[in-house]
């Protein structure tokens, strides 16, 4: 019974790591703008406030006014200048408009060249996610091999476990490919 618990633990850890790999990729993709105003573009933006650095979403509301405009409404109006400065230095390529109450961010249409750059970037991110998944596979396979070597499981159980590891990783790779192609389609849609 102990052997199965060890195997089960290997699979639980593997599944957890593969899920995290896909979720991290999806979070990274959420911050890539695709011509439409998406509040997630500002998720990782840090603003100097109250003597420290704070995430923008903790200092006010970020909402999409329409397809190409975001509105940042800080709860404390004295932070408008700091938020504006953070957006300008963030390298988003968007000029904020400050009217004294809110900051508006108008997203320009993406050029064909910029779309292609972004597609290359998401494909690179997808490859990094696949590398992470392969590393997770290697760790799980090593765990199964150690159990076979220590005679904690039979050869057949070991082969079945290795096949299950391959199936889990293949499923994760398919999910990564689907996520990349969905984001690519979104970027190339004019």
Instruction: Out of 52, 74, 106, pick the residue that ends a domain.
Output: 106
Is the same domain home to 120 and 179? yes
**Beta strands across the sheet bearing 60-66:** 60-66, 69-74, 103-106, 96-98
User: pLDDT tens digit string along 98-149?
Assistant: 888 888 988 777 788 888 888 898 999 999 999 999 999 999 999 999 988 9
Instruction: Out of 106, 123, 145, pick the residue that ends a domain.
Output: 106
Is the same domain home to 95 and 125? no
Is the same domain home to 123 and 83? no
Instruction: Out of 66, 91, 106, pick the residue that ends a domain.
Output: 106
Is the same domain home to 92 and 158? no
Distance, in Å, from the CA atom of 32 to the CA atom of 123, rounded to the nearest integer, reads 12
pLDDT of 1 higher than 50: no
Is the same domain home to 121 and 136? yes
Look up the domain containing 63 and give its range: 39-106
Distance, in Å, from the CA atom of 153 to the CA atom of 61, rounded to the nearest integer, reads 55
Distance, in Å, from the CA atom of 95 to the CA atom of 108, rounded to the nearest integer, reads 10
Its pTM stands at: 0.70
């Amino acid at each position: 019974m102990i052997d199965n618990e060890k195997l089960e633990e290997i699979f639980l850890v593997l599944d957890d790591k593969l899920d995290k790999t896909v979720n991290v990729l999806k979070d990274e993709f959420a911050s890539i703008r695709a011509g439409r105003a998406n509040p997630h573009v500002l998720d990782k933006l840090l603003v100097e406030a109250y003597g420290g650095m704070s995430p923008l979403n903790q200092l006010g509301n970020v909402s999409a006014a329409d397809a190409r405009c975001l509105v940042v409404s800080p709860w404390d109006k004295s932070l408008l200048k700091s938020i504006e400065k953070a957006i300008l230095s963030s390298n988003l390529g968007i000029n904020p408009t400050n009217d004294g109450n809110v900051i508006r961010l108008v997203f320009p249409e993406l050029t064909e060249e910029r779309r292609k750059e972004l597609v290359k970037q998401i494909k690179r991110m997808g490859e990094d996610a696949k590398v992470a998944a392969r590393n997770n596979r290697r760790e799980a396979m090593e765990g199964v091999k150690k159990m076979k070597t220590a005679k904690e499981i039979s050869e057949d159980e070991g082969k079945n476990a290795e096949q299950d590891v391959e199936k889990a990783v293949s499923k994760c790779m398919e999910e990564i490919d689907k996520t990349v192609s969905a984001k690519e389609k979104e970027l190339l849609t004019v």
